[in-house]
Amino acid sequence: MKKRPKILITNDDGIHAPGIRHLWNALKDFADLVVCAPAHEQSAVGLSITIRNPLQMLPINWHNQISVHHDQAHHMGAETWSISGTPADCIKLGLNVIFDQEAPDLVVSGINRGSNAGRNVLYSGTVAGAIEGVMHNIPAIAFSCHDHHEPNYYDFENHIPLIVNHVLENPMPTGTLLNVNFPPKSHSKIQGFRMTRQGKELWVENPDKRNHPAEGSAYYWLGAKVATFDEHEESDISWLQKGYITAVPVHVGELTDHTHLNDHKESFASLKF
């Protein structure tokens, strides 16, 4: 009998976000699951961790808080923890408190509300949860969906076990995570799966200046807008626009620009002080 994998789940939208419930629901018959997720939304916090404040870790019960179909509305039986920190904090505590004896087989993060394709991986708390897993030498997958408003999470559930099983049966190199994005719901049907290269698209600032009504001083909402580029035809951005589920293997185990290092290490070493 095939052993059920053990999976640690997190997200950045928060423990009560619908996306993480659908992620749990997609995997509950496939694996033994533990959920460690932020108590409150932590979108765009990246790989930040909490070092100046204590972290509270509380067990919660998803019973009567379910966002799946009514015919599945039973006690979910999930080991679920709410943590007063970031996604990276959640993985650190999950691995050191819950899985202190035996590491999980996989870390899975999501399903994020909104795209994390392109260079948004650098801002994403969802992707950061996966990165933290990889930094502990545990394979990891980040799941996000293109649509920010009313995503069709139900449509993604059947595809998630296929992707998770593929990763478990085709191990990624040490230091590599898989960044998965689901296409916009404007496509009536998902066209298929594509493993791709990372695109260039990212959210950029769009500052909105306001004035404090009492103090008269200025303040800003940083705001955001999508910066688009001419994308490579094999990029995640291009394939998402065609209605495909994309998966980018993102390597964080080695960040050195070796070309620049080799070209300039001698001249740098010759600097005089």
The answer to whether position 207 is within a domain reads no
Cβ neighbours of 259 (radius 10 Å): 8
What is the CATH classification number for the domain harbouring 31?
3.40.1210.10
Strand segments (E) across 205-268: 208-211, 218-221, 225-227, 244-251
Rg of the chain over all Cα atoms, to the nearest angstrom: 20
pTM as predicted: 0.91
Whole-angstrom Cα distance, residue 168 to residue 175? 15
Q: Which of 9-13, 153-157, 186-190 bottoms out in mean pLDDT, i.e. has the lowest?
A: 186-190
Reported as a single tens digit per residue, the pLDDT across 221-258 is 887 777 777 889 999 999 999 999 999 999 999 999 99
The answer to whether position 64 is within a domain reads yes
Q: What is the pLDDT of residue 171?
A: 95
Reported as a single tens digit per residue, the pLDDT across 202-227 is 777 778 888 888 887 888 888 777 77
Whole-angstrom Cα distance, residue 132 to residue 177? 10
- Whether the CB-CB separation of 257 and 222 falls below 8 Å is answered with no
The answer to whether position 224 is within a domain reads no
The answer to whether position 217 is within a domain reads no
Domain limits for position 165: 6-200+230-269
The answer to whether position 215 is within a domain reads no
Higher-confidence residue: 216 or 125? 125
The sign of the dihedral angle between the CA atoms of 230, 196, 28, 189 is: positive
Q: What is the pLDDT of residue 221?
A: 84
* Nearest of 78, 87, 95, 76 to residue 38 by alpha carbon: 87
Q: Which of 61-65, 103-107, 226-230 bottoms out in mean pLDDT, i.e. has the lowest?
A: 61-65
* Nearest of 19, 33, 111, 14 to residue 67 by alpha carbon: 19
Q: How many domains does the chain have?
A: 1
Whole-angstrom Cα distance, residue 18 to residue 255? 34
The answer to whether position 187 is within a domain reads yes
